[in-house]
Amino acid sequence: MNFIEAASPNFNERLVPPDLVVLHYTGMRTGPEALERLCAADSKVSAHYMVEEDGRVFRLVPEARRAWHAGLSSWKGETDINGRSIGIEIVNPGHEFGYRPFPDAQIAAVIELLADIRTRWDIEDGRIVGHADVAPERKEDPGELFPWKRLAEAGHGLWVEPDAAPGQPLGEGEEGAGVFALQAGFTRLGYDCAPSGKFDTHTAAVVRAFQRHWRPEKVDGIADGMTRARLIALLRASA
């Protein structure tokens, strides 16, 4: 795969090999503006790669080094996400500056990049996630317009299409066994959502992150029947 070298100084040593990929959007007005920030020593942020809208791929940090892209985050009980992940920044202005669909050329490049990365590291489909998945209360990216289904169809990541599921929706303020089971399911999938039986603001943030990834047509933080059906199907697919 062809890369444009654009070295960032913002990295340190890894202690374990990467077994996770975290996808981001840049959330800045332009790609050059994002690239400048990712390569500026005083920004203290970076990623291993940045993918432009036209499909160009910039290599910023060697995969064997720990880039600084995820911040305070968690997946499957692990909290040093930077230490065990490869971070890919995907150029898009994001929700703050005019969020828009990701061009075909850009997604094709992301798919090719994922395939390339996975020739070197053992990364399971269930460990290809978004920034919002690992930091649901802080982040929204890469957001509900990102085509996770297309990635999964190309062999990278999880996607399910369960039948419609009945059942009363669960929302913030509710309590009980149904909420406990929902939280346990999210925790098993990988989210930081310790079961308490109380649908609090954190649980709502996890539901929104889950919906942005696996139910993008409805991102409201309410666990309706289809949201729960997709969670159950994903747990079966990742077992």
Catalytic residues: 89
DSSP conformational letter for 125: G
The sign of the CA dihedral 99, 128, 155, 160 is: negative
Q: What's the rounded Cα separation, in Å, for the pair 238 and 220?
A: 25
Closest CA to 12 of 88, 80, 110: 80
Read off the tokens for 174.
Answer: 């509710």
Q: What's the rounded Cα separation, in Å, for the pair 239 and 224?
A: 23
CA 132-181-237 angle, to 5 degrees, is 65
Kindly report the backbone phi and psi dihedral angles of residue 100, in degrees, each rounded to the nearest multiple of 5, phi listed first: -145, 165
CB atoms within 10 A of CB 127: 20
Radius of gyration (C-alpha) of the chain in whole angstroms: 17
Beta strand extents in the chain (DSSP E only)? 4-5, 11-13, 20-25, 49-51, 57-59, 65-67, 85-90, 128-130
